[in-house]
Amino acid sequence: MNQCYGCNTCKSADKPLEDYIAKLPMETSHHRVEGQSTKCGFGLQGVCCRLCANGPCRITPKAPRGICGANADTIVTRNLLRAVASGSGCYIHVVENTALNVKNVAKTKGEIKGLETLDRLASILGIEEADVHKKAEAVADAVLKDLYLPEYEKMQLTEKMSYKPRYDKWKELGILPGGAKSEVFHGVVKCSTNLNSDPVNMLLDCLKLGISTGIYGLVLTNLLNDVVLGEPEIRFAPVGLRVIDPDYINIMITGHQHSMFTFLQNRLTDEDVIEKARKAGAKGFKLVGCTCVGQDLQLRGAHYTEIFDGHAGNNYTSEAILATGGIDAVISEFNCTLPGIEPICDELQIKQICIDNVAKKANAELKEFDFENRPAVTEEMIDEVIESYSARRGSVPMNLMEDHGYENTLTGVSEVSLKKFLGGNWKPLIDLIVSGDIKGVAGVVGCSNLTAGGHDVLTVDLVKELISRDIIVLTAGCSSGGIENCGLMTPEASKYAGPKLRAVCESLGIPPVLNFGPCLAIGRLEIVATELAEELGVDLPQLPLVLSAAQWLEEQALADGCYGLALGLPLHLGLPPFVTGSPVAVQVLTEDMKNLTGGQVIINGDAKESADILEQIVMEKRQGLNI
Amino acid sequence: MKYVIIGAGVAGIEAAKVIRAQEESAKIVMVSADTQIHSRCMLHKYIAGERDEKGLDFTEEDFFGKYNVQWLSGVRLSKVCPEQKKAMLDNGETICYDKLLLATGANSCIPPVGELRKASNVFGLRDLPDAQAIVKEAEHAQEILIIGSGLVGLDAAYGLLERGKKVTIVEMAPQILPVQLDEHGAVAYQKLFEEAGVRFLLGRKADQAVCEADGKIHKVLLDNGEEIPCDMIIAAAGVRPCTAYLDGSGIACERGIKVDSYMQTNAADVYAAGDMTGLSGIWPNAADQGRIAGKNMCGIETEYTDTYAAKNTINFFGLVTLCVGKIRAEEGDEVQVREDSRHYNRAILRDGRVEGILLQGDISNAGIWQYLIKNKVDISGIEKDVFHINYGDFYQVGERGKYLWEGI
Amino acid sequence: MRRIMIEYDKCDGCKSCSVACMQAHREDEGTVYDLDMTDPKNESRNFILKDSKGRYKPLFCRHCDDPECVKSCMSGALKRDPESGHVFYDEERCGSCFMCVMNCPFGVLKPDSVTNSKVIKCDFCVNAGGEPSCVAACPTKAIFVEEV
């Protein structure tokens, strides 16, 4: 027997990481997969209902209805709507905080880094204002105003932010959203006990929530952040556990709200603060990227080279990042902060601080982000992190993995930076698609989970399959973290691409997988798609474009997915979203959706089969466009 | 019909049960040196003081009454005359039989080193009288030397540790439990015993031992010249079937008494079962042999086929181990190891079959391994890590809800 | 004898049977609402296995006609009751050798997780009138009792 906590860890696409985790002396989520391997079939199918005291009711051949009379279709779609509403709420929370941050920065005449984006937004929103700060404030106000509308008043920016054919389609289907926050409210009311029992009606609500989530939670969050945090610039940067430099006081950041970190991150590079670090024996401070907020820093890394060395890994890498011993504090503000990090933080004396109470961790100190008092709160946090560093360094064992990951990983890709890279317009990309050098585009997005083959296993296998078929892959979310740590975002990865895509990559010096950053940047992918469609004069469902949330994990991913469906895109999922117990839900999502929005859900857990199906769809769309 | 069973170990007891089930009116006589029915596998619990003599009984209450078996206890067999169908006992009596079962087990083998066999403070650990003698001697013995670190040696050590004795164990092999475990698996137990105070001398042999004036050995010289002081010695270096009484009977004997696959000896109507056959030294097999002999004695032809004996479970200090099949890998074998802070698992595979398994730390639901190994079941088609294979991979429910083995 | 029959293709892996078993054999009093799911003392005696194809295979003691566990028991702790045909385990007599664990060809038996000194074995809920709790809890009737 040895020191390993347990040898039955799940597989990871990232083999060195798999090996590292298997040898850890502490438990991680990778260890816990085994113990949870027998899943309740009722849960998997979504046919367990706990909405009232008569329950839990479960659907079986001999009991096809719950006590109240709800059948599988009602139970499943209620559960799904509940999940989508919840997921939407998460993203709306993010955009609300982001808009408030822009407003506060503008009001206090703070730095506006993304002037181009500000102008772009102001022009889309029809805001005419010369003063930069006033313009930014007006933009933020416009977004906030929409978010706070009642459910019965349609949001104002939806039409301005949408591609016209899509907007018309949504209007026709009656799924234009009212105030985004109110829509969440509406959704959770609808799926409560003994209210709605109409599966199709509830599925349409899911689409409506998808639209508000996508346009506000995703697209606008990115653009608002670009205004104050700086626009992405294409560059190469390191990824993986190698980014942890033990000579520094290291703060791992988790969550989705980059705007909450900017003040701290700027302060950490001020000479007086660095001097504090030096006194404690460190060279200074570093933020270590983890989960989507890490991806967001990575994406905008060109602006933060001093404080940020790179993205270490996705949600299910977070425990390993901590286990290196090189992290002195975790500052979290939103989800993908696994409860499983808590015992590890305790064991390795890592200080946990939470700056948004929606994500308060049990062992963390809550220091709510407060724009007005942020200087004082930031000083407190800095002192606590230094204290943690001093207390733990020397006594806590280091278990670094300095060769993990890759040094030259392409990052900073956005709808703007990519277009700039291509020469200022999409024509080169369209030409490549038309010529067939790039057969199609796949957005492989969303999370990472441990059950679709293991940690990032399906995602990475699917990406390899797709690029081998000359389909270029764009990523956003924790999927990016896994894919990049497996080396697929380095230029050398072009060797995995099919001959045509490989030639394209080699001539441009880019990898066959382009990372747009956090899951929020799914919104950026959709801007790219929309701009391509506009350029071609077609609607989105006609594009040779597919989406895959191969290893979707969370309710947020389901809300994202609904946006994809509302946009009319084919959406692949590796695991079913607990709906297969309902024939109606399956029929609507996988078949009828094609007639409703043009989208469809494809559920398949096998990388090759999934790639076959997605390639087939791409080929059909190409045929439809006569290319 | 008159059935005479010599020996009251599990083989004899099981034979009696089978015979009674077949023939309600048969006369069954059991002759045993044992005066208390006891499980030889639990003697360590007696030495440790955890159980009294009665607590070692493995039979149901009023066994002899319930099964209507006449029991002559405290009596040994001294001679068998197959031609006359007679057995002579050491109390001078002679009993006739129609069918005779010899199930007298085995005796500890005291190694022929120095005067070990002569000394009054050297004991084997085979049956209750051995254990009783050890407990008695331990009343005034403090330093115990155990020769052999197999299961019997460790059982003795466990029991004596519970009595607060200082225990030293000499083992010829470079590891403890050399028959049961690989070196790595053995180290885990070695550590536990060492933590409990045992000193191991591995790769060493007892070389010289001389009785002193009191007829006892007070020191043993090892082959490296080291001198081990001791007040008592327990020889746990193997057993030898009890066959002395067969001399002149014409019943064939080699390492043990020779039997065919129906558990019959070369003499008509004389059967043998258990340790004295030398077929295997483990309880379940002895019990099986007893049952099969019993059936054949009743005229129900039954072959002894499940002879697989390379299997053991070990449980000391709460650390459990199961080992079945091959322990040491040979060239061309594939070895898979899984290890963490609470488990050590090792599988030896060859040609898509598992040839040996060792599970340490957790043996839950591990019964399938014996089946898979002894039946040489091909597992190459199962897309799973070997340690995750379970009965679900062979699952089939047959008539009356019995489990069957799919495709086997 | 009465045996728990199994139609495994009806099993949904919900483990209601395991929870019912834990509840039926808990040491303290209470209802399923307050059953401590994290106490290792509360072990289920039945198991839902998964085969390599991900199908559920319920593993329930067969109370075999010719039980290998009984045949390998060296302490007399495991016995087949001639009347009911069920195999019962007497914790007091058990010598913790676990040869029964090794000899059950289907791997139904296991040592207890807390002390490794007892065998975890189905008792057909004999103390609750011999109606197995697992069977009563199965929502799909994948397990049911039959006279065989």
Do C12 and A40 make contact, defined as CB atoms within 8 angstroms?
Answer: yes
Pairing of strands B69-73, B77-81: unpaired
pTM, rounded to two decimals = 0.87
Determine the Cα–Cα distance for residues B398 and C7; give it in Å rounded to an integer.
11
Quick one: fold of C63-120? Alpha-Beta Plaits (3.30.70)
**Exposure b/e, B182-215, CB count within 10 A at least 16 = b:** bebbbbbbbebbeeeebebbbebebeebebeeee
Task: Say if residue A314 is exposed, middle or buried (CB neighbours under 10 Å; 0-12, 13-18, 19+).
Answer: buried
CB neighbour burial string for C127-142, b if at least 16 within 10 angstroms, e if fewer: eeeeebbbbbbbbbeb
ipTM for the predicted complex comes to 0.96
Domain membership flag for residue B264:
yes
Residue B141 lies in a domain: yes
Q: Are residues B331 and B369 in the same domain?
A: yes
Residues C14, A63: C-beta atoms closer than 8 Å: no
Residue (of A134, A158, B285, A348) closest to C102 by Cα position: B285
Contacting residues of B for C109, CB less than 8 Å apart: 365, 367
**Chain B residues near residue C51 by CB distance under 8 angstroms:** 390, 392-393, 395
Whether the predicted pLDDT of B242 surpasses 90: no
Nearest CA in chain A to B342: A1
Phi-psi region of A306 (alpha: psi -120 to 50; beta: other; left: phi over 0): alpha
Q: Tokens representing A338?
A: 């696994």
Angstrom CA distances, B205 to B150, B216, B228, B407, stand at: 14, 19, 11, 50
* Rounded-to-integer distance, Cα A317 and Cα A549, Å: 18
Tell me if B234 sits within 8 A of B252, measured CB to CB. no
Does the distance separating the beta carbons of C8 and B322 come in below 8 Å? no
Q: What is the pLDDT of residue C53?
A: 85
Substitution target in A3, A7, A19, A30 with the highest count of B β-carbons within 10 Å is A7
Instruction: Say whether residue B60 is in contact with chain C using an 8 A CB cutoff.
Output: yes
Q: Tell me the nearest-neighbour CA distance from A399 into chain B, angstroms.
A: 17
SS3 for B248-308 is: CCCCCECCCECCCCCCECCCCCEEECHHHHCCCCCHHHHHHHHHHHHHHHCCCCCCCCCCC
The reply to whether C1-60+122-148 and C63-120 are identical in fold is yes
Comparing alpha-carbon positions, the chain B residue that sits nearest to C7 is B397
Q: Tell me, yes or no, if C143 comes closer than 8 A to chain A by beta carbon.
A: no
CATH of C1-60+122-148, picked from 3.30.70.20, 3.10.180.10, 3.40.50.1100, 3.80.10.10, is 3.30.70.20
A615 with A471: CB under 8 angstroms? yes
pLDDT in tens, A484-516: 999 999 999 999 999 999 999 999 999 999 999
Residue C13, min C-alpha distance to chain A (Å):
5
pLDDT for B238: 86
> Is any Cβ of chain A less than 8 angstroms from the Cβ of B340?
yes
C-beta separation of A12 from A23 below 8 A = no
Residue of C6, C65, C69, C101 to mutate, interface with B, max B Cβ within 10 Å: C101
- Which pLDDT does position C37 carry in this prediction? 84
Enumerate residues 6+ apart whose C-beta is below 8 A from A77.
A191, A199, A202, A203, A579, A582, A584, A585
Q: How far is CA A492 from CA A299, A407, A484, A496, A498, in A?
A: 20, 12, 12, 9, 13
Tokens 């009606």 correspond to: A201
Mean per-residue pLDDT for C111-117?
95
Range of the domain at B223: 122-237
Strand partners, B220: B209, B228
Question: So what's the pLDDT on residue B247?
Answer: 86
Angle among Cα A621, A216, A293 to the nearest 5 degrees reads: 95
Question: Residue B224 burial by CB count (10 A; 0-12/13-18/19+): exposed, middle or buried?
Answer: exposed
> Which residues in C lie closer than 8 A to residue A63 (C-beta atoms)?
139
- B342 close to A (CB below 8 A): yes
Check whether B407 has a pLDDT greater than 80: no
Distance (Å, whole) CA A589 – CA A597: 11
Residues 6+ away with beta carbon under 8 Å from A30:
A9, A10, A12, A18, A21, A22, A316, A319, A450, A455
Q: What is the pLDDT of residue B408?
A: 61
Question: Which residues of chain B neighbour A2 with C-beta distances below 8 Å?
Answer: 339-341
Residue A435 has pLDDT above 90, yes or no: yes
B116 part of a folded domain: no
Q: Judge whether B288 is closer than 8 Å to chain C, CB to CB.
A: yes
- What one-letter code names the amino acid at A59? I
Residue A365 corresponds to which tokens in the numbers above?
A: 């100190």
pLDDT category at B237 given cuts 50, 70, 90 is: confident
Q: How far apart are CA B175 and CA A211, in angstroms?
A: 69
CATH number of A241-392: 3.40.50.2030
Chains that touch C (3 or more CB pairs under 8 A): A, B
Q: How far apart are CA B96 and CA B75, in angstroms?
A: 15
Q: How far is the C-alpha of A63 from the C-alpha of A22, rounded, in Å?
A: 43
Average pLDDT over residues C50-68: 93
Using alpha carbons, list the distances in angstroms from residue C63 to B373, C79, C109. 23, 10, 11
Query: Are B364 and C57 inside 8 Å of each other by CB?
Result: no
Number of domains in chain B: 3
Same fold, A72-229 and A241-392: no
Q: Do A1 and B340 touch (CB under 8 A)?
A: yes
Chain B residues lying within 8 Å of A25, measured CB to CB: 341
- Whether residue B306 is contained in a domain is answered as no
pLDDT for A448 beyond 90 = yes
Among B188, B340, B388, the residue with its CB nearest the CB of A6 is B340
* Same-domain pairing of B349 and B382: yes
Indicate if the pLDDT at residue B92 is higher than 80.
yes
Question: Which residue matches tokens 């089930």?
Answer: B21
Domain A72-229: which topology? Substrate Binding Domain Of Dnak; Chain:A; Domain 2 (1.20.1270)
- Mean pLDDT score of chain A: 96
Contact (CB<8Å) B288/C71: yes
Domain A412-624, CATH: 3.40.50.2030
Exposure of C48 in the CB half-sphere (CA atoms within 13 A): 28
* Facing A42 at nearest CB: one of C12, C48, C56: C12
Nearest chain B CA: its distance from C134 CA (Å)? 16
So where are chain C's domains? Answer: 1-60+122-148, 63-120
Where residue B399 sits, what CATH number does that domain have? Answer: 3.30.390.30
Rg of the Cα atoms in chain C: 15
Mutant choice from C11, C72, C90 vs B, greatest count of B C-beta within 10 A: C72
**Chain C contact for B364 (CB, 8 A cutoff):** yes
pLDDT of A119:
97
- Cα nearest neighbour of B59 on chain C: C76
Residue B99 sits in the same domain as residue B6: yes
Q: For chain B, what percent of residues have pLDDT higher than 70?
A: 100
Tokens of B123: 């004991």
- Residue found by looking up tokens 């072990």 in the block: C43
Chain B residue whose CA is closest to C115: B318
Q: Is residue B147 part of a domain?
A: yes
Q: What residue ranges do the domains of chain A occupy?
A: 72-229, 241-392, 412-624
Distance of alpha carbon A451 from alpha carbon A218, whole angstroms: 26
**One domain for residues B231 and B251:** no
